[in-house]
């Protein structure tokens, strides 16, 4: 633990959000080009769509997936599916740039054995938000979550194991990567309503990549 504190003291790019949760400032920036290319290739095969929750609410965030399985929601529930329900085809494969970034970020945050098999890609436009929720549709909670922010800045809300736990807020910028697992793997989290703005690369939007081990 002493070594960890010493490292944080000399590395301002690392920020502890909780035990088992680390914010890696700008970690994705060296891989920005290949990551953006990967997003474009995925969206060609599996376009963004606004999914509907089991309660009938149309989500303000547009979503798509890549990997062995994709996360979906509709009136029948939340789940992972090997096929894109809109095309009936398998989801696009994880681009090698995605896989390399997810593994490197997890290792940097203390999770050397993470190998994702799913990536949920969220597109936020001004006014979109993601309410507090837990990532609990995966089979094994021993694996962390790796979340990559691109485009417009956003406010990440990170709580606890109960919905009414105190919320901590973190400003996320282009290239930041949040990793959480272990004792905080099932912490509630969300994204506050996205404010309008213009990012020099992505324009009036924010893209979030969430890597998980689903199966």
CATH of the domain at 177: 2.60.120.590
For residue 25, what are the CA distances in angstroms to 16, 150, 151, 179?
Answer: 11, 12, 14, 11
pLDDT tens-digit series, residues 188-209 = 999 999 999 999 999 999 999 9
pLDDT tens-digit series, residues 117-171 = 999 999 999 999 999 999 999 999 999 999 999 999 999 999 999 999 999 999 9
What pLDDT is recorded for position 100?
Answer: 98
Contact 35, 151 (CB under 8 A): no
Q: Report the length, in residues, of the chain.
A: 215
pLDDT for residue 8 is more than 80 = no
Tell how strand 189-191 and strand 21-24 pair up: unpaired
pLDDT tens-digit series, residues 32-69 = 999 999 999 999 999 999 999 999 999 999 999 999 99
The domain in which residue 54 lies consists of: 2-212
Tally the domains of the chain.
1
Nearest partner of 49 among 153, 118, 116, 121, judged by Cα = 121
For residue 12, what are the CA distances in angstroms to 1, 15, 23, 27?
Answer: 17, 7, 10, 12
Which contacts of 51-55 are long-range, i.e. CB under 8 A and separated by 24 or more positions?
Answer: 54/78
What pLDDT is recorded for position 28?
Answer: 98
Average pLDDT, the chain: 95
pLDDT for residue 99 is more than 50 = yes
């Amino acid at each position: 633990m002493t070594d960890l504190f010493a490292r944080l003291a000399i590395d301002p790019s690392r920020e502890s959000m909780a035990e088992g949760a680390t914010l890696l400032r700008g970690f994705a920036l060296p891989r920005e080009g290949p990551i953006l290319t990967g997003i474009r290739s995925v969206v060609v095969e599996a376009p963004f769509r606004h999914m509907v929750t089991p309660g009938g609410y149309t989500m303000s965030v547009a979503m798509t997936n890549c990997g062995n399985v994709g996360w979906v929601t509709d009136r029948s529930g939340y789940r992972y599916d090997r096929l894109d329900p809109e095309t009936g085809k398998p989801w696009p494969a994880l681009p090698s740039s995605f896989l390399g970034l997810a593994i490197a970020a997890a290792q940097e945050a203390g999770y050397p054995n993470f190998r994702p098999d799913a990536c949920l890609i969220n597109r936020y436009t001004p006014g979109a938000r993601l309410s507090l929720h837990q990532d609990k549709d995966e089979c094994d909670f021993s694996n962390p979550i790796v979340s990559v922010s691109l485009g417009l800045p956003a406010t990440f809300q990170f709580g606890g194991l109960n919905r009414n736990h105190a919320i901590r807020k973190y400003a996320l910028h282009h290239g930041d990567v949040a990793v959480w697992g272990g004792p905080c793997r099932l912490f509630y989290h969300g994204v506050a309503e996205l404010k309008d703005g213009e990012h020099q690369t992505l324009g009036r939007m924010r893209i979030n990549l969430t890597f998980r081990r689903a199966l």
